[in-house]
Amino acid sequence: MQGHNKAFMADPYRFLLHHPLRIQARTDQNSPLAQINAQASPPVFDFDLRPSGDRCMELIPFSAHTKTNFFGTQRPIRAYWLDYQPERICTISGDMKQADYLFTPMLSGCYVGGGPTGMVHIAGDFYNEALRRFVPPVHQRDNASMRLRAMENLNGSLTIAFDSNQNTSAAEMTLVGVRSNTGWMFYVQGHTAFSGNAATLASVYNETNHQTVIPIRDLRRG
C-alpha cells in the first residue's frame, strides 16, 4: 500500500527503525486479522501495510484492487502467520521455505522460538492454564520453562528464540521473521502500547543503548 510494502521488503530493519508496526491478534476486538485461517497448512498469506497514526503502520490482509500492479508498489507481502492464543502454544510445523517473512501478534510477555522443524509462539500466561489444569510442571513462568516448552514443541530443535519477558523494557514489542540463504532471523521492535492508532518507538532493553530494533539470530535472548 502506497509503497510501504516495497519499502519493508527492501529493508525490514530500516523500515522498523522508522515505523512502529502494529500487529493485532486475531482475537483482539475489531482486529483486521480476525478472518485469517490460522489452521491453514502452511499458514502463508498475503499481507499489506497501511498507515496508522503518526509514522505508525498496521498489518492487514492484502486485498487486490484496480490499481494493483504486480510489477509496481502494490505487491503484497507474502508471509507466514504464527498465531497467538491466550494461555496456549501455537506452532507452525515444517521446513518453512514457502515464504520469506513471518508475522506474529505483538509481544508483552510471550516467547517465540524456531528451528529446522518450525516456529512456536508461547503465550506469556501459558502457566496460568497449567496451574488450573494441574498439568506438571506446576511452577512459575520463567525463561528456562519457556525454552523447554519450545523445544518440546519443535522436536528438540531450537536454534533461535526471543523471550519478551526477559529483562525487556518496552511496553510492547513487534517481532518480524525474515528468511535468507542462511536461515531465519528475527527483528524485534520496541514501542509504547498502542493507544488508538498511535505509538512511539522505545528501547527494547535498557542496556542496549536505546536500540529500538534489535536483530535476533540465536538463543542468547531466548
**In the structure grid, which three cell numbers stand for residue 124, read together?**
506469556
The pLDDT score that the predictor gives to residue 27 is 93
> Containing H/E element for 173?
strand 172-180
Mean pLDDT rounded to a whole number for the chain = 88
- Measured CA to CA, the distance from residue 51 to residue 175 in angstroms comes to 18
- Measured CA to CA, the distance from residue 127 to residue 161 in angstroms comes to 19
Indicate if the pLDDT at residue 73 is higher than 80.
no
Q: What percent of the chain has pLDDT over 90?
A: 71
Q: Is 145 helix (H, G, I), strand (E, B) or coil?
A: helix
Q: Cβ distance 5 to 74 under 8 Å?
A: yes
The pLDDT score that the predictor gives to residue 67 is 57
For residue range 100-134, list pLDDT tens digits in order. Answer: 999 999 999 999 999 999 999 999 887 655 444 54
The pLDDT score that the predictor gives to residue 72 is 47
Nearest to 184 by CA among 110, 120, 106, 88: 120
- Measured CA to CA, the distance from residue 10 to residue 31 in angstroms comes to 27
Give the pLDDT band of residue 187 (cuts 50, 70, 90): very high
Which comes out higher in pLDDT, residue 152 or 131? 152
Number of CB atoms found within 10 A of residue 165's CB: 15
The pLDDT score that the predictor gives to residue 134 is 46
Question: What average pLDDT score do residues 68-93 get?
Answer: 84
Q: In which order are the strands placed within the sheet that holds 77-81?
A: 21-22, 57-61, 44-51, 77-81, 101-103, 172-180, 183-191, 213-216
pTM over 0.95: no
Nearest to 164 by CA among 102, 210, 104, 91: 104
Give the pLDDT band of residue 222 (cuts 50, 70, 90): confident
- Measured CA to CA, the distance from residue 69 to residue 75 in angstroms comes to 7
